[in-house]
Amino acid sequence: MNGQPRNKVSREERLAEQLRANLRRRKAQARAMNDTGSESAAQRLSKPAGDS
């Protein structure tokens, strides 16, 4: 029975690290989408110079 708690802890640590990595990846992806999305939205909303 001494092996099970150690395996469980290492499994929990491994899963926690995977969750942290996934969160970092998703945040980076969201920032990248937000950066490109805001630029294209600004371009779509800006008036052309000759229309005024």
Decide if 40 is inside a domain.
Answer: no
Q: What phi and psi, each to the nearest 5 degrees, are found at residue 48?
A: -65, 150
Structure tokens at 50: 């000759």
**Quick check: is 20 in a domain?**
yes
From the number of C-beta atoms within 10 Å of its C-beta (0-12, 13-18, 19+), residue 20 rates as exposed
**Is 47 inside any structural domain?**
no
Is 6 among the domain residues?
A: yes
Domain-located, residue 44: no
Q: Tell me the CA distances in angstroms from 5 to 10, 12, 17, 34, one per residue in order.
A: 9, 10, 18, 43
Residue pointed to by tokens 């630029």: 39
Please report the pLDDT score of residue 9 as a whole number: 78
Q: 1-52, pLDDT tens digit by residue?
A: 565 666 777 999 999 999 999 999 999 999 998 887 655 555 555 666 665 5
**What was the pLDDT predicted at 8?**
73
| Residue 36: per-residue pLDDT | 76
